[in-house]
Structure 1
Amino acid sequence: MKSQILPAIKLTFLSLVLLAIVYPLIILGIAQFAPNSGKVQFIERNNKIIGAENVGQKFDQDRYFYSRPSVVNYNAASSGGSNKGPSNPDYLATVQARIDTFLVHNPTVAKADIPSELVTASGSGLDPHISPKGALVQVDRIAKKRNISNEKLINLIKINTEKPFLGLFGTEKINVLKLNLALDNLK
């Protein structure tokens, strides 16, 4: 019995040290190389915090670029997805309702041209980005609402498109909050 208990205690202690101390310190060290050392980057306007750069926010007014849907209503305290699979009837109904709503507000867009990120939530429910295509399909609606030329909006999208990390990792993306702030700053 002693021959089994002592190794079990040693293994438990080793696991505790590795998983509760060493591993978190390694991840913390890696995070120091992330933008802003992995901390939230707040965006201010007129000395008032209006949002966080790396946490999604709800934009559903026709005069703004829509953000990605969120299952957790953009609440960072309860990050998570719906955990419903692509064949789940409730999930399919939710996505179809989002598609229908998008098409009502964007009548010039064909259903096949709607990027998936505009009708499906991310795994965390907090994704602040959409693809350039996700922004481009909204140009007609915003141009009409704001009486701005499509070319100005397309140029704004190009300026606000973030390239992949080191040109290799990830895809092009646009932070919706930053894009909408730039949109408000257009004269």
Structure 2
Amino acid sequence: MFKNLRIVLVLLFACGLVYPLAVNGAANLLMPEKANGSLIEESGKVRGSELIGQAFNEPKYFSGRVSSIKYDGAGSGSNNYAASNEELAKRTKDDINAFLVANPGVKKEDIPADLLTNSGSGLDPHISPLAALIQVPRISKERGIQEEVLRKLIKEQTEGRQLGIFGEPRVNVLMLNRSLDEK
């Protein structure tokens, strides 16, 4: 009985205290920015994280993917609706209409799918380069910046495939909007 209790206490101490402290310490030592959430600070205030998307509702900013959880990092995930779900169909139709109103001249069939769909976590901070490019006319008009300047900015902010083969090229919306504010 006491032998079992000692084993439980030793494992509890090792796995519940020593291991987490060692991993946290190593992460903070080897990659402090990532260990602390890749936070973006401006003027001493946290503006966001490179790893978590956020809503940009002003027309002068590039918008990201939709998020059924409103980018709340405390509870990642999204509704697991089937393509036939009426609520998903209504939300998608509403998102299409809102996008078309905000971006006059864009045809419904030209809207990239990533602007109308959740990521698996509902927190994805990235959009495709095409999803950024389709918003250029609106932002150009709102900010009085030439479209060519905005296209160049998108190209500069486009991240390639990981290790050259994994994933698709993508643009971090927060980083793109920060660059836009610097113009």
The residue aligned with 2:178 is 181
1-side partners of 2:31 and 2:151: how far apart?
29
Structure 1: 5+ residue stretches without partners: 1-19
Q: Give the TM-score, by structure 2 length.
A: 0.82
Runs of 4+ in 1 over 2 A off after TM superposition: 32-39
Task: Tell me if 1:64 matches 2:99.
Answer: no
How far is the alpha carbon of 1:38 from its aligned partner? 6.0
One of 77, 80, 102 as aligned partner of 1:80: 77
C-alpha spacing 1:156/1:35, structure 2 compared with 1 (3 Å): farther
Let me know the Cα RMSD of the aligned residues.
Answer: 2.5
The residue aligned with 1:11 is none
C-alpha spacing 1:160/1:35, structure 2 compared with 1 (3 Å): farther
Residues 80-138 of structure 1: CA deviation (Å, up to 9, x unaligned) = 10111111111011011000000001011111110111111111110000000000000
The residue aligned with 2:150 is 153
One of 75, 94, 97 as aligned partner of 2:94: 97
How far is the alpha carbon of 1:61 from its aligned partner? 1.1
Count of residue pairs the alignment pairs up: 165
Identity rate of aligned residues, in percent? 44
Task: Tell me if 1:118 matches 2:115.
Answer: yes
Listed as ranges, the matches of 1:2-151 within 5 Å are: 40-151=37-148
1-side partners of 2:156 and 2:87: how far apart?
38
Secondary structure at the counterpart of residue 74 of structure 2: helix
- Confirm or deny: 8 A CA contact 2:126 2:171 kept in the other structure: yes
2-side partners of 1:50 and 1:148: how far apart?
23
